[in-house]
Amino acid sequence: MSSEKLPAFIETCNVERKQDLSEDQEESQKPRLGNEFEPISKRQMKKLIKQKQWEEQRELRKQKRKEKRKRKQLERQCQLESNSDGNDKKRIRRDVVHSTLRLIIDCSFDSLMVLKDIKKLHKQIQRCYAENRRALHPVQFYLTSHGGQLKKNMDENDKGWVNWKDIHIKPDHYREFVKKEDLVYLTSDSPNVLKELDESKAYVIGGLVDHNHHKGLTYKQASDHGIDHAQLPLGNFVKMNSRKVLAINHVFEIILEYLETRDWQEAFFTVLPQRKGAVATDKACESSSHDKESARVEGRLDSDSSEEENSRNELDSPHEEEKQDKENSTESTVNSIPH
């Protein structure tokens, strides 16, 4: 570059530098768009207002919770004092009269069941325990031969069973701690029908969910060991569409209900599920006689209608007689076929 052009170039550079500095100053004087200066949206503003209101009303909410707890406590106390509703499901424990009757679920059939049936047995035992805790006359509840798959399933799925109250859970067989003369095995295969419950006895329910694969097993075991056996008087009071074999919890609940009402029929109809199609035996007899009477009436109406038809046919013209004779012979042939 020539010496003549050099001063002009330097001056141009100085001018550009001054312009850059002035631009930097202007930029620095502009308001920053940092976090503290960033504009707030309406949604964020609403959230902040709600949060502020929530903080301000904290004490008020606390006071309301206290009042609600006091109100519920007062309601419970009034309910306990009144206790006027006899149909109330939660019964007062102070009115409970414990029965001396021993009710045993025999769990010695563990090896005969698959895991699916073991789980069903566990659920039925849970139901028995819950019903006995709620009953007005709870029995002395025993769970014997407890171990194997059943205990493992209870340990895995119901760890609270170790804290159950009013139940005796034993790994021993019931014969080891109950006298033989006190035992009565409840089985639907027994020819003996139970008329009433003896509260000095120990009644055994077979803890077997087998879908009738081992029919007569509990009856055979009771007979082999010389243990008294009986079946509930189901046939004397109830007629069912299905077989008479009941679930463990149903037998347990029927006994609890009988101890309260001393009425077998009421106990059966209170406990048995609707799917069993249970009807009272007297009603079943009435229904059967009514069906027979209806059939007889229908038969008489059919015979009357056929006589009317024959009398009308006699008034027909002579050329119809041959045709009518054929029809009558065909009809008599059809009617002679047994139905």
Instruction: Name all domains of the chain by residue range, CATH numbers in brackets.
Output: 102-276 (3.40.1280.30)
Higher pLDDT residue, 99 or 311? 99
pLDDT band for 6, please (50, 70, 90 cuts): low
Give the pLDDT confidence score for residue 222 in this predicted structure: 95
The whole-angstrom separation of Cα 11 and Cα 242 is 114
Give the pLDDT confidence score for residue 42 in this predicted structure: 86
Of 88, 210, 302, 325, which is the active-site residue? Answer: 210
Higher pLDDT residue, 34 or 153? 153
| Average pLDDT taken over every residue of the chain | 77
The whole-angstrom separation of Cα 286 and Cα 293 is 10
Q: Tell me 39's DSSP state.
A: P
- State the average pLDDT over residues 211-225: 88
Give the pLDDT confidence score for residue 17 in this predicted structure: 61
H helix and E strand count, the chain: 11, 8
108: left (phi over 0), alpha (psi -120 to 50) or beta: alpha
Q: Is the pLDDT of residue 332 over 70?
A: no
Predicted model pTM: 0.58
Q: Is the pLDDT of residue 201 over 70?
A: yes
Tell me if residue 166 is catalytic: no
Give the pLDDT confidence score for residue 71 in this predicted structure: 83
- State the average pLDDT over residues 150-171: 94
Helix H or strand E segment including 230: strand 228-230
Lowest mean pLDDT among 20-24, 40-44, 53-57, 75-79: 20-24
Residue whose C-alpha is closest to residue 254's, from 85, 132, 110, 93: 132
